[in-house]
A = this chain, B = another copy of it.
Amino acid sequence: MAKLSIPQGTRDFGPDVVRKRNYIIATIRKTFELYGFQPLETPAMENTSTLLGKYGEEGDRLIFKILNNGDILGQAQMAKDSRELSLLLCEKSLRYDLTIPFARYVAMNHGKLQLPFRRYQIQPVWRGDRPQAGRYREFYQCDADVVGSNSLINEVELLKIYDTVLTDLQLTGYELRINNRKVLAGLAELVGRPDLMTDITVAIDKLDKIGESGVRQELLTRGLTDTETDKAMAFISLSGTNEQKLERLSELLASSETGLKGVEELRFVLNSNLASFVSPPQLDLTLARGLNYYTGMIVEVKAPPGVNIGSIGGGGRYDDLTGLFGVPGISGVGISFGVDRIYDVLEKLGLFPVEAQESTRVIFFHPGEARLAEVFRYATQVRDRGIAVEMYPEDIKQDKQYKYAEKRGIPFIAYVEDHAPDTIFIKNIPEKQRYTIKAEELAGFGF
């Protein structure tokens, strides 16, 4: 028999991991709902035609395609290359992200939806990337978007959601960085190259990876002159408080209508009277975010500097989500949490609470046939209090049952002994405490 395995880039999540992931996801979900976001789930499979052309050429290649049923051999013989063959053979594909299925859903249901529509969606997505450390072929995305509202109140609330969730997760030192695409458009005008707005954005977006000199080089390569590059570099190097930066931006972008609009939007979003933050958003003019569909605020959440994990979330405003599907004019703004990376951060910093690491709280040892019904009753009584209880199902030596409890990390063991009717012996393993109680005291015992 061949060695058992699972496909490259996929993972089994055992109990310890699922519990900790569920803790993260439950915290996010609770906050989404607190802000009025509503759950949506779309199918794992979409029509291939819904997905193709939405993620660039590279993306098209990385979409997992699902083989049609029926006479695929006949179809196979009609194809002239592998790409054409894959399209002939696969009408359906696996979800690649949550944004396009959401856009498809909104476009399909826009007559019925109450706008603004706040939805959140927490589901796995699949990508045929080459597997490597921290990059998987199946992973969860966790998105919240508001569509059908241009109000910047949405931006403020989404930033509050980041702050609330990360604070609830006991994380400190994370950074909420924001910028605005209109300001970057203003920058392109300022340097005299509005035609190169996208190139400038792409270059700036690499700052973290290639450093200042790298960005300078990239700007030159992409067609800016030395002087233009100097202007751009000076712009993104602006320092000071949010207020100082905004002041300076107003001056620099005085001649750019778009740029000033961006500054105004930033002022609204950063207005500390509206909302208070544990980690207030910081204006970061070097923040660009690669995705071309953003048109207003962009945001990125950085893990605390010490853990060296980088971005744990991001998002922004886009002007036309559903235009791709024939329903123009629905703008939106959204954020996303990187659950896998947040998991790694909490793990590195030891921030998972005990509750997220504990499963069964009490185990009753098998008492032998004679008192089985009695112990069943005890177990039921404790479960009725909402406490997770196992009964060890096999009638074996107590030290073996004890070992099982220990390895499973069950804190309380409880058992009866032949010589002691109506008496329960309890040990708290981690705290090395022993108790002997009467059966009628079980209801009040503090497990």
Contact = CB atoms under 8 A, between A and B. Distances in A.
A72 B82 contact: yes
Contact of A67 (B89, B153, B274, B325): B89
Nearest to A327: B4
A376 B295 CA distance: 25
A221 B400 CA distance: 53
Contact of A35 (B89, B366, B388): B388
A4 B325 contact: yes
Given A34-B389, A149-B393, A128 B44 contact: no
Identify which of A65, A71, A389 gathers the most chain B CB atoms within 10 Å of its CB. A65
A7 B393 contact: no
A321 B69 CA distance: 30
Interface in A278-297: none
A347 interface: no
A216 to B, nearest CB: 37
Contact of A138 (B44, B77, B275): B44
Interface string A62-89: 0011110111111011010110011001
A203 to B, nearest CB: 31
A389 B71 CA distance: 53
A13 B40 contact: yes
Contact of A12 (B15, B42, B116, B326): B42
A359 B33 contact: yes
A207 B178 CA distance: 66
Nearest to A66: B64
Nearest to A363: B36
A49 B7 CA distance: 11
A358 to B, nearest CB: 10
Contacts of A372: 153, 274
A177 interface: no
Nearest to A17: B41
Contacts of A149: 393-394
Contacts of A274: 372-373, 376
Interface stretch (A104-112, A243-251, A307-315, A432-440): A104-112
Q: Assembly of this chain: how many copies?
A: 2
A264 interface: no
Contacts of A160: 380
A356 to B, nearest CB: 12
A128 B69 contact: yes
Identify which of A42, A71, A366 gathers the most chain B CB atoms within 10 Å of its CB. A42
A46 B376 contact: no
Interface in A1-27: 1-2, 4-7, 10-15, 18-19, 22
A73 B79 contact: yes
A252 interface: no
Q: What class of interface size applies to chain A in its complex with B?
A: 35 or more
A38 B66 contact: no
B50 A4 contact: yes
A119 B275 CA distance: 44
A331 B212 CA distance: 62
A413 to B, nearest CB: 13
Given A4-B104, A47-B7, A273-B373, A393 B41 contact: no
B12 A41 contact: yes
A90 B86 CA distance: 11
A306 interface: no
Given A4-B107, A94-B66, A383-B35, A376 B40 contact: no
Q: Which 10 A-B pairs have the closest CB atoms?
A: A36-B390, A151-B393, A10-B43, A15-B38, A18-B39, A13-B41, A76-B76, A273-B373, A153-B393, A36-B360
27 contacts: A1-B325, A4-B325, A4-B326, A5-B108, A7-B46, A15-B119, A18-B40, A19-B38, A34-B388, A35-B389, A36-B388, A36-B390, A43-B138, A44-B126, A45-B137, A66-B66, A66-B67, A69-B128, A72-B82, A73-B82, A76-B77, A76-B85, A89-B89, A114-B404, A146-B393, A149-B394, A160-B380
Given A35-B383, A72-B86, A76-B76, 12 more contacts: A2-B49, A4-B107, A6-B104, A6-B108, A13-B42, A35-B388, A44-B138, A45-B138, A64-B67, A73-B81, A151-B393, A276-B380
